[in-house]
């Protein structure tokens, strides 16, 4: 059993990959209850994620409830449309752009930590891990700082359920939960639509204006494409980094020797971030749909089947990672799959890594004795497709 799972008594079914005695499963199997083909293992994950022609990201054709958010949603598109849309914002996430953004990230970090500097403790997520990336991505998009609370409330509500989706068994509870999630998503897209219309008459130097003015093959993007694209960037642009920062602190608290090692040698902070991403990846599962019959790990999967690639088990594949259940902040190489692979490799991965490194160095600098509050209990995200903490009380000694 992993230290983290044992310490916080993580649900053995939800976090089965954390329990060493169960071993990380490898292979392909169909869950008869959900109708989803679960894919485990590093090589299998690579085969799925690196082949968009066979394994499509357009899951909307099997999950029609989400169809209104599919047009322009970069996470739901395949090449060539995905490639064209991705290119529109790639410059904002280039090494040069991220380097220019770094002073602003430092300033946000300093402001947030100054607010809690004189407190004996604080909620790491609410006071730091969430507001840092949401501020960065909303500023890039052009969302006013005064509206961050609105976005936070809608995203929190979206992720408050279990979302244990099934193509086979549907009940009133699942239908109600889906309706609730879609309602929160509409709040965000309706909000972005208002900003979009404003940018049409009052352009600014932000990503939303760039999308309004962009053309692909001589044609402007539709309103739905812009709104859904911006929505995907907004949500994905902060949820992963929030989880990363919280999980890194959680892991260091569970592994005090690792904490001492990194504090004594800050050159390990980059590899610490990578090991946190491997050990407790923010994304639990990445979904794809088969375009044709395909054989995967000796198993035949028919067309129009929903395939779930489980990132945590790929990251614990013993054929790729030595001692996969050991948290090693100096692990190298570390070919984890927390940011995916292939054409859908997270466009904001470099920004998330930079934010994570800056955040952890700042926490080390300001709070040499920071640890998880022994009198408090972390609250973990409830969605099976996301890993991380929604609340993490810490104390400063």
pLDDT digits (tens, 9 = 90+) for 134-169: 999 999 999 988 898 888 888 888 877 666 677 887
Q: What is the pTM of this model?
A: 0.94
Task: Answer whether residue 202 shows pLDDT above 70.
Answer: yes
Query: Parallel, antiparallel, or unpaired: how do β-strands 379-380 and 27-31 relate?
Result: unpaired
Could you tell me where the DSSP H helices lie in the chain?
3-8, 42-49, 81-90, 95-116, 124, 131-141, 148-158, 172-201, 207-213, 223-254, 256-264, 269-279, 311-314, 349-366
**Per-residue pLDDT tens over the stretch 13-51:** 889 888 876 676 779 999 998 999 999 999 999 999 999
pLDDT of residue 66: 67
Euclidean distance between CA atoms 174 and 184, whole angstroms: 16
pLDDT of residue 22: 67
> CB count, 10 Å around CB of 176?
11
Instruction: Bin 209: left if φ > 0, else alpha if -120 < ψ < 50, else beta.
Output: alpha
Contacts of 265 (CB under 8 A, 6+ apart): none
Of the pLDDT bands very low, low, confident and very high (cuts 50, 70, 90), residue 175 is confident
> CB count, 10 Å around CB of 390?
21
Instruction: Look at 12-21, 284-293, 314-323 and tell me which has the smallest mean pLDDT.
Output: 12-21
Token pair listed for 165 = 């989706």
**Three-point CA angle 249, 255, 260, nearest 5°:** 85
User: For residue 71, which of 307, 230, 236 has the smallest C-alpha distance?
Assistant: 230
Average pLDDT, the chain: 92
The architecture of the domain spanning 3-395 is: Orthogonal Bundle (1.10)
Euclidean distance between CA atoms 307 and 395, whole angstroms: 42
More confident residue, 18 or 329: 329
Euclidean distance between CA atoms 255 and 248, whole angstroms: 10
More confident residue, 170 or 219: 219
Domain ranges of the chain: 3-395
pLDDT of residue 162: 63
């Amino acid at each position: 059993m992993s230290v983290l799972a044992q310490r916080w008594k993580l649900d053995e079914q939800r976090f089965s990959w954390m329990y060493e005695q169960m071993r990380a499963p490898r292979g392909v199997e169909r869950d008869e209850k959900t109708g989803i083909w679960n894919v485990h293992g590093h090589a299998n994950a690579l085969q799925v994620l690196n082949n968009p022609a066979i394994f499509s990201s357009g899951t909307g054709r099997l999950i029609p409830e989400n169809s209104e958010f599919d047009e322009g949603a970069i996470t739901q598109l395949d090449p060539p449309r995905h490639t064209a849309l991705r290119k529109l914002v790639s410059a904002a996430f280039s090494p040069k752009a991220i380097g220019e953004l770094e002073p602003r990230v430092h300033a946000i970090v300093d402001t947030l930590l100054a607010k809690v500097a004189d407190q004996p403790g604080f909620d790491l997520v609410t006071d730091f891990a969430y507001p840092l990336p949401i501020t960065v991505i909303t500023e890039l998009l052009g969302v006013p700082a005064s509206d961050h609370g609105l976005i936070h409330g809608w995203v929190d509500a979206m992720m408050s359920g279990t979302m244990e989706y099934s193509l086979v068994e549907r009940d009133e509870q699942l239908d109600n939960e889906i309706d609730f999630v879609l309602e929160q998503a509409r709040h965000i897209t309706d909000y972005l639509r208002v900003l979009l219309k404003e940018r049409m008459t009052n352009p600014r130097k932000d990503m939303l204006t760039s999308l309004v003015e962009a053309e692909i093959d001589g044609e402007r993007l539709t309103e739905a494409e812009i709104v859904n694209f911006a929505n995907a960037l907004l949500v994905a642009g902060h949820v992963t980094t929030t989880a990363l920062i919280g999980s890194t602190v959680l892991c260091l608290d569970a592994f005090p020797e690792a904490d001492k090692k990194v504090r004594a040698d800050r050159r390990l902070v980059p590899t610490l971030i990578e090991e946190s991403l491997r050990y407790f990846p923010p994304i639990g599962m990445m979904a794809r749909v088969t375009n044709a019959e395909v054989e995967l790990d000796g198993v035949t999967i028919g067309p129009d089947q929903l395939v779930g690639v489980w990132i945590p088990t790929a990251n614990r594949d013993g054929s790729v990672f030595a001692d996969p259940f050991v948290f090693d902040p100096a692990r190298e190489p570390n070919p984890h799959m927390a940011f995916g692979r292939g054409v859908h490799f997270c466009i904001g991965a470099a920004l998330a890594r930079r934010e994570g490194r800056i955040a952890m160095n700042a926490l080390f600098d300001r709070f040499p004795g920071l640890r998880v509050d022994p009198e408090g209990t972390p609250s973990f995200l409830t969605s099976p497709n996301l890993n991380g903490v929604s609340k993490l009380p810490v104390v400063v000694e």
